Amino acid sequence: FGRTEVIDNTLNPDFVRKFIMDYFFEERENLRFDFYDVDSKSPNLSKHDFLGQMFCTLGEIVGSQGSRLEKPIVGIPGKKCGTVIVTAEELGCCRDSVLMQFCANKLDKKDFFGKSDPFLVFHRSNEDGSFTICHKTEVVKNTLNPVWQAFKISVRALCNGDYDRTIKVEVYDWDRDGSHDFIGEFTTSYRELSRGQSQFNVYEVINPKKKGKKKKYVNSGTVTLLSFLIETEVSFLDYIKGGTQINFTVAIDFTASNGNPSQPTSLHYMNPYQLNAYGMALRAVGEIIQDYDSDKMFPALGFGARLPPDGRVSHEFALNGNPQNPYCHGIDGVMEAYYRSLKCVQLYGPTNFAPVINHVARYAASVKDGSQYFVLLIVTDGVISDMAQTKESIVNASKLPMSIIIVGVGPAEFDAMEELDGDVVRISSRGRFAERDIVQFVPFRDYIDRSGNHVLSMARLAKDVLAEIPEQFLSYMRVRGIKPSPAPPPYTPPIHVLQTQI
C-alpha cells in the first residue's frame, strides 16, 4: 500500500509520512506492517534486513483508546523485535456542512401580470468542467427583492471539499407549467462565500443573452449573501475516539425446529471440518464488532431450550452455564460456550425473542449518557412465537442506545422478521411507533457462496448486517443531544537522551 520515509541511525524512529485509507465500519480490513533496516539505495526490499512485522485490522486501530494502537513487532523467532505505535485520525474536510442564507435586489420582472417568483439553483463544477445541481432554494412568490430561507448543505456536495472550485448559481422565475424563466447567473467559490456577509459577497446577476444584445445592460439584479455558518458534523469515529464502547451480546435459537444437533441435516450440526450456519454468522459479525469493545467480554445467551437438571424451558439462559456471569472472552469464547451448551441442553420451544431483547435493554437503560452502545445479534431458524411481545420490546428499545441484528438461518419463511426490520414500515406496538429503526434482518441463505467459499459469504454477511449500525448509533446520539467526549491528547514519543562518555 505504501512505504514510510527512511530515518537514519535510530532504533526509535518517529515516522512522518501519513497514509490515507478508506474506512468501513462493516468490513474487516486487514493490515500488515513490515519493518526493514535500509542499508543501500536499492528499492528492492529483499536487499535489506527484515526487522519484523505487525498484523492488525483498521478497526483495531480506530477502536483503540484515542485511536492509538500499540503492539509488539513479531516475526523473528526467539527475538524481541520492539513495539510499534499506530495512530489514526479521520479526515476532517469532508465532514463540514454550511448554513447559508441569501437575498436578492431588483431582479428582472419576468411575469406579464405580476412581479417574478424567484428561486436559486446551485451547481458544483466537476473535474471535466461540467456542472451538477447540488441545491435548489424554495420559490418566493411575487417579489423582485426575495429573501430565501437559510439552508444547510455539506461541503462535499457543494464543492467536493475543494475550496477554490467554481460554484455556479442560477436565478429563475418560477412558472406553474414548469417552463421556468432564466433571470441570470453568477459564479463564486466556497472560499469567497466563507468571507461571510461583506461587499465581496454581493453578486451581479448576469443574463448573457441580454448582455450580448443591449449595450446599456448592467445586470438583472444582485444577490447578496446574508450569513455563512460552518458546522462540523460529528461522526461515528468521533464517539469511538472519545471512548464510547460498543457492547456486543449474542442470542442463539435452541428450538427443536433446528433439528437434532447430532444429525448432519441439523442447522446446529457440529461438523468437525467446517462451521455450521450459526457459527458462521457469529464469527462474521463478532470478529468485526470485537475491535470496538475494550474488554472483549461478550454475554452469550440461548433461548428455546430445556435446561439441566430439571428440564425447565428457558428463553434467556447463559451459554457458559453461569447465569450470574454470562460473559465469554472474545468471539472464540462465545463459540466454545455455544458448542458446550449444544451438548448439554435439549432443543425445545417456542421461539420467543422478547426475553433476550429485554435482557439487553435492561443494561442499555442503565447507561444513556453515550458512553456505551449495545448491539444484540439474534441468530434464529424461524418463525417467531411471541410477535406482539417482541414488537413491544423493540418499540421500548428504540429509545435506548441499542441496535438489534437478526440473522435468519435455514429454509424457513421469514416474513415476520421482515416486518420487524423497519426499513419499509416503521414498527409499532399498541399504537406507539418505534422512535427510530433499530432492527436489521438478513436471511443467511442469501449469502451462501455458490463456490463454497465461506470466507466470502461471511464477509458479505457482515457487510450487510453491520452497514446500518453507525447511522443507528448516530441517530440515538443526535436525538439525545449527546456530543462525543474529547479524545485523549495525542501521543508524543519520549525524548531519548543521548549519553556521551567523556
Pairing of strands 402-408, 372-380: parallel
Q: Which has the closest alpha carbon to 177: 107, 109, 111, 106?
A: 111
How far apart (Å, rounded) are the C-alpha atoms in residues 104 and 193?
Answer: 15
Of 12, 50, 7, 58, the C-alpha closest to 32 is 58
Bridge partners (DSSP) listed for residue 87: 68
Q: Cα separation of 131 and 180, whole Å?
A: 19
Give the whole-angstrom CA distance, residue 87 versus residue 139: 48
Distance CA 124, CA 56 (A): 39
Q: Give the count of beta carbons closer than 10 Å to the beta carbon of residue 340.
A: 13
The CA distance from 99 to 226, in Å, is: 11
In angstroms, rounded to a whole number, what is the distance separating the alpha carbons of residues 405 and 392?
17
The C-alpha atoms of residue 476 and residue 227 are separated, in whole angstroms, by 30
- From CA 457, how far away is CA 384, in angstroms rounded? 25
d(CA 467, CA 282): 16
CATH code linked to domain 96-232: 2.60.40.150
Question: 223 pairs with which residues across the strands?
Answer: 104, 203
Domain boundaries, the chain: 1-90, 96-232, 245-480
Strands (E), 117-201: 118-125, 131-136, 151-154, 166-173, 181-189
Domain spanning 245-480: which superfamily? von Willebrand factor, type A domain (3.40.50.410)
Q: Which amino acid is at 91?
A: L
Q: Which amino acid, 461? A: L
What sign does the dihedral 33-37-43-46 (CA atoms) show? negative
C-beta pairs of 495-500 under 8 Å, 24+ apart in sequence = 496/12
Cell numbers found for residue 411: 429454509
The three cell numbers of residue 432 are 406507539
Question: pLDDT tens string for the chain (502 positions)?
Answer: 999 999 999 999 999 899 989 899 999 999 999 999 998 989 899 999 999 999 999 999 999 988 999 999 999 999 999 999 999 988 766 678 899 999 999 999 987 778 899 999 999 988 788 898 999 999 999 999 999 999 999 888 898 888 999 999 999 999 988 889 999 999 999 999 999 999 889 999 999 999 988 889 999 999 999 999 998 888 899 999 999 999 999 999 999 999 999 999 999 999 888 899 999 999 999 999 999 998 999 999 999 999 999 999 999 999 999 999 999 999 999 999 999 999 999 999 999 999 999 999 999 999 999 999 999 999 999 889 999 999 999 999 999 999 999 999 999 888 888 889 877 788 999 999 999 999 999 999 988 887 878 888 899 999 999 989 999 999 999 999 999 998 777 666 566 555 555 5
Side chain identity, residue 34: D
Among residues 193, 200, 166, 172, the alpha carbon closest in space to that of 184 is found at: 172
Q: Look at strands 428-429 and 166-173 and give their pairing.
A: unpaired
Question: Whole-angstrom Cα distance, residue 31 to residue 46?
Answer: 20
Q: How many residues does the chain have?
A: 502
Amino acid in the structure at residue 208: P
